[in-house]
Copies of this chain bind each other. A is one copy, B any other.
Amino acid sequence: MSGYDIKRFLASLGWLVGSPSYGSIYPALHALLEDGLVSVEVFSALNKPPRKIYSITDAGRYALRKWIRKPVVANASLKAFLMRLILANNLTKPGLATHLEQRRAQVGTRHVALQRMIDELQEDADQGQRLALEYGVFIASAELAWLDEKLGQLSEELLLEEGEEGNITYEGDPLEEVSLE
Residues of A within 8 A of B (CB): 9, 11-18, 75-79, 82, 85-90, 106-107, 110, 113-114, 117, 126-129, 131-133, 135-136, 138-143, 146, 150
Contact = CB atoms under 8 A, between A and B. Distances in A.
Number of copies: 2
A83 to B, nearest CB: 9
A142 B144 CA distance: 11
Given A126-B89, A127-B88, A139-B142, A14 B77 contact: yes
Given A86-B129, A138-B146, A139-B146, 9 more contacts: A11-B75, A12-B110, A13-B136, A15-B77, A16-B139, A18-B77, A85-B131, A85-B135, A139-B139
A123 to B, nearest CB: 14
A9 B78 CA distance: 17
Instruction: Identify the 6 closest CB pairs spanning chains A and B, nearest first.
Output: A142-B142, A89-B128, A88-B128, A89-B127, A18-B77, A86-B132
Nearest to A106: B15
A118 B73 CA distance: 30
A14 B136 CA distance: 10
Contact of A136 (B16, B75, B113, B129): B16
Contact of A9 (B129, B141, B143): B129
Contact of A143 (B114, B126, B139): B139
Given A82-B132, A90-B128, A129-B86, A77 B16 contact: yes
A110 to B, nearest CB: 5
A90 B131 CA distance: 13
